[in-house]
C-alpha cells in the first residue's frame, strides 16, 4: 500500500497541462502516470508501483496518442489510479480491455473505412476465442482487398483486436505460472496496449468521437472507471460480461470461464 500524502490535484498550478512522453523530472513536465506517481508521494516515474500495471499501460498509450485537448480530460480522474494494484482483479482487467478493443475501438475503425460487415462480426463475437479468429479473418480480408501496400487503420485495428482477445485467453490459462503468462513476446500489458492501439487506429481512420469512447475514466456508471478503477464498492464484473456468455460445448467455453463467472468478486 502506498503511503498517503497531502498531494492532490490542487497542488498543480492552474496552467498545468499533461504532456506526452516520459520526463526527466516534474519540472520538465508530466504525463498522466507521472502525475499518479506524484499524487502517491513516490519517486518520479511513469510506471508507479502504486498503480495497476494493466491500467497503467492503457493510460500511458492514450496519453501519448491523444490530441492535447483530449489528454487534459484525463487529469481529474488520475487520483483513482493510486493504490489500484490488485492481483485478484488482473484477469478481469485483461478481459475488459480485450473487449474494448473487440467491441468498441476496432469496429469503429473498420466502419470508418467502409468495412461495416466486418465491424458487425467483431461486435457480435460471443467469446474471446471467437473474437480472436474473427480478427485474423478480417486482417486477411482487408489485405486481399487493399493489396500489399501500407497497412491501413482497419487492418491494424483488427490485428489489435485479435491480439487482445488471444492475450486475454493466454493470461487466463497461465494464472498459476510465476510470470502469469507474461513474456517478451506477450507483455503483461498486451490487452491494455492493444485496446489503446485500436483506439489510435480508429482516430487515424477519422473517427471523431473515438477519444470520448477511450476516456474510460469519465466516471459514468457504465465506464470502466468502476470495474478497473478503485474503491467504488461497485461489483467488478457489473459491465464486463453483458451479452458475452458462452454456450455449453462451444469452442470458447474454457473451464476458467465458468469459474470466473461464478466468483464475481467485488472491487478491492
Cα separation, 106 vs 99, in Å, equals 10
> Is 54 in the same domain as 116?
no
Cα separation, 7 vs 23, in Å, equals 19
For the stretch 5-17, pLDDT in tens is 556 777 777 678 8
Angle of CA points 119, 165, 251, to nearest 5°: 95
- Per the domain annotation, does 240 fall within a domain? yes
- Residue 20: CB atoms within 10 A of its CB come to 15
pLDDT computed for residue 129 by the predictor: 96
pLDDT computed for residue 187 by the predictor: 86
> Is 59 in the same domain as 98?
no
For the stretch 219-247, pLDDT in tens is 333 334 334 433 333 322 323 332 223 33
pLDDT computed for residue 12 by the predictor: 72
> Is 101 in the same domain as 194?
yes
- Per the domain annotation, does 73 fall within a domain? yes
> Is 70 in the same domain as 97?
no
> Is 246 in the same domain as 120?
yes
Number of domains making up the chain: 2
Q: Which three cell numbers stand for residue 202?
A: 480508429
pLDDT computed for residue 4 by the predictor: 45
Q: Which three cell numbers stand for residue 93?
A: 482487467
Cα separation, 66 vs 4, in Å, equals 30
For the stretch 64-96, pLDDT in tens is 999 999 999 998 889 999 999 998 999 999 999
> Is 205 in the same domain as 253?
yes
* Residue closest to 37 by CA, chosen among 13, 64, 5: 5
CA atoms within 13 A of residue 129's CA, in its CB half-sphere: 14
- Per the domain annotation, does 4 fall within a domain? no
pLDDT computed for residue 216 by the predictor: 58
Domain that holds residue 57: 9-81
- Residue 245: CB atoms within 10 A of its CB come to 12
* Residue closest to 105 by CA, chosen among 157, 56, 58, 59: 157
Task: Name the domain boundary from 81, 105, 133.
Answer: 81
Computed over every residue of the chain, the mean pLDDT equals 79
Q: Which residues pair with 266 in a beta bridge?
A: 235
pLDDT computed for residue 14 by the predictor: 66
Q: Specify burial of residue 212 (Cβ count, 10 A radius: 0-12, 13-18, 19+).
A: exposed
Residue 38, pLDDT > 60, answer yes
pLDDT computed for residue 111 by the predictor: 98
Task: Name the domain boundary from 47, 81, 115.
Answer: 81
Residue 140, pLDDT > 90, answer yes
Rounded average pLDDT over 182-188: 82
> Is 55 in the same domain as 111?
no
> Is 77 in the same domain as 94?
no
Phi/psi for 235 (5° steps) reads -55, 135
Cα separation, 228 vs 243, in Å, equals 19
> Is 33 in the same domain as 157?
no
Amino acid at each position: 500500500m502506498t503511503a498517503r500524502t497531502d498531494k492532490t490535484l490542487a497542488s498543480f498550478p492552474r496552467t498545468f497541462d499533461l504532456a506526452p512522453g516520459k520526463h526527466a523530472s516534474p519540472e520538465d513536465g508530466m504525463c498522466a502516470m507521472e502525475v499518479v506517481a506524484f499524487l502517491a508521494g513516490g519517486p518520479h516515474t511513469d510506471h508507479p508501483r502504486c498503480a495497476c500495471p494493466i491500467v497503467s499501460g492503457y493510460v500511458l498509450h492514450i496519453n501519448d496518442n491523444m490530441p492535447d485537448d483530449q489528454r487534459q480530460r484525463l487529469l481529474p480522474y488520475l487520483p483513482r489510479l493510486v493504490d489500484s494494484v490488485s492481483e485478484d482483479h488482473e484477469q478481469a482487467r485483461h478481459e475488459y480491455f480485450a473487449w474494448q478493443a473487440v467491441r468498441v475501438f476496432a469496429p469503429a475503425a473498420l466502419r470508418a473505412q467502409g468495412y461495416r460487415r466486418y465491424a458487425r462480426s467483431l461486435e457480435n463475437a460471443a467469446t474471446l476465442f471467437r473474437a480472436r479468429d474473427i480478427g485474423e479473418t478480417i486482417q486477411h480480408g482487408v489485405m486481399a482487398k487493399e493489396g500489399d501496400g501500407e497497412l491501413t487503420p482497419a487492418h491494424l485495428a483488427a490485428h489489435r483486436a485479435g491480439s487482445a482477445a488471444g492475450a486475454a485467453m493466454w493470461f487466463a490459462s497461465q494464472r498459476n505460472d510465476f510470470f502469469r503468462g507474461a513474456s517478451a513476446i506477450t507483455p503483461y500489458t498486451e490487452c491494455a496496449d492493444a485496446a489503446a492501439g485500436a483506439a489510435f487506429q480508429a482516430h487515424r481512420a477519422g473517427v471523431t468521437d473515438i477519444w470520448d469512447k477511450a476516456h474510460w475514466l469519465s466516471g459514468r456508471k457504465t465506464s470502466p472507471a468502476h470495474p478497473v478503477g478503485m474503491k467504488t464498492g461497485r461489483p467488478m464484473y457489473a459491465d464486463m460480461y453483458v451479452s458475452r456468455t458462452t454456450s455449453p460445448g462451444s469452442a470458447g467455453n474454457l473451464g476458467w470461464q465458468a469459474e470466473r463467472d461464478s466468483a464475481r468478486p467485488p472491487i478491492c
